[in-house]
Homo-oligomer: A and B are copies of this chain.
């Protein structure tokens, strides 16, 4: 995975998940240091519409335009944050 490309892609995510991967909003998850494999699974679940809670709708919109490569790079980037 390309962590630098993930970082560039993550500009949008920072608004809710924090520039350092620590979420500004308590009902949103911190992503820093999370398992990359889990982040990939979660992004794919949002993209596939397998998460249907009210707040999941926001993430579905975010995940829809992401390619598998974007998902891999974003996951590696956030996982790399301490």
Could you tell me the dominant secondary structure of chain A's interface residues? loop
Residues 1 to 55 of chain A near chain B (Cβ within 8 Å): 23, 25-30, 33-38, 40-42, 44-45, 48, 50-53, 55
B34 adjacent to A29 (CB under 8 Å): yes
**What's the number of copies of this chain in the assembled complex?**
2
Q: Which residues of B contact A53 (CB under 8 A)?
A: 41, 44-45, 48, 50-51
Assess whether A81 is interfacial by the CB under 8 Å rule: no
Q: Which residues of B contact A40 (CB under 8 A)?
A: 27
A52 adjacent to B50 (CB under 8 Å): yes
Assess whether A56 is interfacial by the CB under 8 Å rule: yes
B41 adjacent to A35 (CB under 8 Å): no
